[in-house]
Amino acid sequence: MVLRTSICSLNAAIFILILHLSNCQIQVDVEKTVVWGPGLKPDEVVLPARYFFIHAVDKAGNKFDSVPPAKFDVQINGNSPHGKCRSNINLIERNDGSIIVRYSISADWCEQVEIVVRYNNSHVAQSPYVVRNKVYSERCYCPQDLSLWLIHNNCPAVDDDKQMTWDLHSFKRVNFSAIRENLVKRYNSPESVSLCHYVVKNQQIWRKCYGKYTGFSMFMDRTLSALGRVAYLPDMEFYINLGDWPLSKKGGQQRTSGPYPIFSWCGSDDSYDITLPTYDITESTLENMGRVMLDILSVQKSEYPWDTKEEKAFFRGRDSRRERLQLIDLARKHPDMINASITNFFFFRNEEEKYGPKVPHISFMEFFRYKYQLNIDGAVAAYRLPYLLAGGSLVLKQESNYYEHFYSKLVPYKHYVPIKRDLSDVIEKIEWARNNDMRAREIVSAAREFVDNNLLPQHIYCYHLTMFKEWATRLISPVVVLPDMEKLHLSYTCSCKEHPIKDEL
Ligand SMILES: *[C@@H]1O[C@H](CO)[C@@H](O)[C@H](O)[C@H]1NC(C)=O
Ligand SMILES: *[C@@H]1O[C@H](CO)[C@@H](O)[C@H](O)[C@H]1NC(C)=O
Ligand SMILES: *[C@@H]1O[C@H](CO)[C@@H](O)[C@H](O)[C@H]1NC(C)=O
């Protein structure tokens, strides 16, 4: 496919005077072109931004690997309580011939919805896509039965997720009545730990937090609220660590008490913490097409095609780990290979003179001007990895004991190139990538495929709900709202169901 493009430009160069350029243009076959994704079933799959994909196919049945000659056009037709169904539609062109289409509806609901996909005025694939039932906005309170929700969303089973299975294997039966008090006693050290206890009962959410810096509980509040709008949550309770470092360390005390079950955004090889998708990727999922600038869909917009990228490794970030400073040394020694700078000094403030000056933040999209992206741990795992994998550059990832919920499914040299923890092989790995450009491209495209299968908004919802459903089955003590818990306001602007039961306790 790459070959085809280059023959094409070769022809164009040689015969430019006698051959019209368009003779060389490959035509899109609107019937063979493929359109798929959860956004085609907006009545079943409710997300903040609905999305689906288009991949252009030519007359010969080959998928395009570059931007097709004309633009696709998408419309959402239908009626809302205020007349015509209004929507916000956004086409994200990836450089491989495929396009992400995402949209949100402005009204609380639309009915008689039809999704129309056209190319050069012709309908594409099975367009128009007729949606049978009412389409509700994600802001509406419309919970579905949880099992049904998991089926509609094609969520993988617990057993099919390595990390979930592994994380839960130490917690087959959890008796919170027996451990609650000691758990809080063990971790309630206000200066270093921030921990919240959540109880979900009858679709209502309650919490109590411990520690000083509990502002991050807003992320879990919003997550539970959003999940509760789309699905009936099981009655359950859990503790979530709001800090960076995993808490439930292996060895020591835990050998006698058994590990305490604690959910965390970052896991580590030496802890029992149960990982959930990070607040970062969850927030960008919940705010997709909303107030976040960077999300897993928008980052796929290909502004820098592979061949235009600079063949250097790029890094920007704060000084949250010694290796990041070591990288600055390396970049100074090899300016032709690495462009790295620190954006903020905090942890090693007294070394700012040596490793500075600090540089202003640049847009994350600008990172992808460079062919190789360095993913180096910060305090814990660097939560940018999902976006780096989606962005169309080759990821060089530092080996690490820390991980997010999806790392166990990543395969070195398939989805990224590993680099040693002490960075001693960074230069060697950049040289390897420069000398193996085809391999590098394959890895980049496998990384994007990984993102498409594991890290899109639907998957982030799936992971939470699959985990919570399973978690609830493991609790053997009764789920009760404790007297000093605060009740959270479930936020929604409209409703297609009875409101949650008002009084409890
Ligand atoms: C669009 O369609 C017209 C005729 O229907 C055709 O002549 C033209 O080549 C098409 N353009 C593209 C870019 O496919
Ligand atoms: C859970 O722990 C409490 C307190 O130790 C105990 O009374 C109760 O029997 C336990 N429940 C089960 C099902 O083991
Ligand atoms: C490093 O990257 C920044 C951001 O793209 C760029 O402005 C700067 O010129 C680069 N430095 C070098 C030495 O190439």
Asked if residue 364 and residue 215 are part of one domain, the reply reads no
In the predicted model, what is the mean pLDDT of residues 464-482? 97
| Helix, strand, coil percentages in the chain from 3-state DSSP, rounded to 5 | 30, 25, 45
Q: Which ligand is nearest to the CA of 338?
A: 3
Question: Residue 23: what are its φ and ψ, rounded to 5°?
Answer: -60, -25
Give the angle subtended at the CA of 225 by the CAs of 220 and 229, to the nearest 5°: 150
Q: Do 86 and 115 belong to one domain?
A: yes
Does ligand 2 lie within 6 Å of residue 177's CB atom? yes
- Ligand 2 neighbourhood includes 178 CB (under 6 angstroms): yes
Residues 367 and 326 in one domain: yes
Residues 168 and 132 in one domain: no
Tell me, in angstroms, the distance from the centre of ligand 3 to residue 338's CA: 10
CA dist 472 and 321 (Å) reads 37
Same domain membership, residue 358 and residue 327: yes
Q: In angstroms, what is the span from residue 375 Cα to ligand 3's centroid?
A: 18
Q: Which residue's CA is the closest to the ligand 3 atom numbered 3?
A: 339
Q: Give the pairing type, strands 263-264 and 274-275.
A: parallel
Beta bridge partner(s), residue 104: 88
Pocket of ligand 1 contains residue 27 by CB under 6 Å: yes
Least confident span in 122-126, 234-238, 359-363: 359-363
Q: For 200-224, what is each residue's pLDDT tens digit?
A: 999 999 999 998 888 899 999 999 9
Average pLDDT for residues 89-103, to the nearest whole number? Answer: 94
What's the chain's Rg over C-alpha atoms?
25
Instruction: Label residue 9 by pLDDT band (50, 70, 90).
Output: very low
- Name which residue sits closest to atom 14 of ligand 1, judged by CA: 27
339 alpha carbon, closest ligand: 3
Q: Does residue 300 carry a pLDDT above 50?
A: yes
Distance 369 CA to ligand 3 centre (A): 10
Closest ligand 2 atom, CA of 476?
13
* C-beta of 310 in contact with ligand 3 (< 6 A): no
- What would the pLDDT profile of 364-407 be if each residue is shown by its tens digit? 999 999 999 999 999 999 999 999 999 999 999 999 999 999 99
Residue nearest to atom 8 of ligand 3 (CA): 339
Domain region containing 55: 28-138
Compute, in angstroms, the gap from residue 239 CA to the centroid of ligand 3: 44
Domain assignment present for residue 49? The answer is yes
The separation between CA 474 and the C-alpha centre of its own chain, rounded to angstroms, equals 27
Please choose from 22, 120, 123 the residue to mutate so as to test ligand 1's pocket, defined by most ligand atoms within 8 A of CB: 120
Residues above pLDDT 90, as percent of the chain = 81
Ligand 2 mutation target, pool 477, 479, 480, most atoms within 8 A of CB: 477
In degrees and rounded to multiples of 5, residue 485 shows phi and psi of -90, 150
Question: Minimum-distance ligand to the CA of 181?
Answer: 2
Residue 466 tokens, joined: 């699959």
Alpha carbons 199 and 188: distance in angstroms, whole number = 18
For the entire predicted model, the pTM comes to 0.92
C-alpha 175 – ligand 2 centre gap (Å): 6
Tokens of 419: 């680099």
**Per-residue pLDDT at 428 exceeds 80:** yes
Kindly report the length of the chain. Answer: 505
Q: Is the CB of 477 under 6 A from ligand 2?
A: yes
- The CATH number that applies at residue 131 is 2.60.40.10
Give the Å distance between the CA of 174 and the centre of ligand 2.
10
Q: Are residues 232 and 304 located together in one domain of the fold?
A: no
User: Minimum mean pLDDT among 139-153, 180-194, 284-298, 360-374: which range?
Assistant: 180-194
What letter would DSSP give residue 75? E
* Cα(386) to centroid(ligand 2), Å: 41
Domain CATH for 418: 3.40.50.2000
Q: How many whole angstroms separate alpha carbon 317 and alpha carbon 355?
A: 12
Check whether residue 450 and residue 303 sit in a common domain.
yes
Which one, of 41, 63, 43, lies nearest residue 54 by Cα? 63
Residues 55 and 122 in one domain: yes
Tell me the residue type at 326: Q
Q: Quick one: pLDDT at residue 211?
A: 87
User: Which 3 state secondary structure label does DSSP give 342?
Assistant: strand
pLDDT at 73 over 90: yes
Residue of 200 and 293 predicted with greater confidence: 200
Q: Which of 310, 334, 339, 363 to mutate to test the pocket of ligand 3 (most atoms within 8 A of CB)?
A: 339
Tell me, yes or no, whether 292 lies in a domain.
no
Q: Tokens 């694939």, residue? A: 125
Q: CA-CA distance, 211 to 188, in Å (whole number)?
A: 6
Q: Is the CB of 11 inside a 6 Å radius of any atom of ligand 2?
A: no
CA proximity to 344, closest of 372, 325, 323: 325
Of the residues 86, 110, 138, the one at which a domain ends: 138
Helix axes 457-474 and 279-286, enclosed angle (nearest 10): 120
Do 198 and 95 share a structural domain? no
Distance of CA 427 to the CA centre of its chain: 29
Q: Is 192 a pocket residue for ligand 2 (Cβ < 6 Å)?
A: no
Q: Kindly identify the ligand whose nearest atom is closest to the C-alpha of 119.
A: 1
Ligand nearest the Cα atom of residue 22: 1
pLDDT above 60 for 10: no
State both tokens at 78: 């239908």
Residues 257-266 pLDDT 10s: 679 999 999 9
Q: Is residue 426 part of a domain?
A: yes
Find out whether the beta carbon of 66 lies less than 6 Å from any atom of ligand 3: no
Which residues make beta-bridge pairs with 394? 372
Q: If you average pLDDT over every residue of the chain, what do you get?
A: 91
Determine, yes or no, domain membership for 499.
no
Query: Ligand 1 center to residue 36 CA distance, Å?
Result: 24
Are 334 and 268 in contact, with CB atoms under 8 Å apart? no
In a shared domain, residues 118 and 167: no
Q: Please tell me the distance between residue 304's alpha carbon and the centre of ligand 3 in angstroms.
A: 15
CA 118 → CA 59, 97, 123, 427, distances in Å?
17, 15, 4, 47
Total domains in the fold of the chain:
3
On whether residue 420 sits in a domain, the answer given is yes
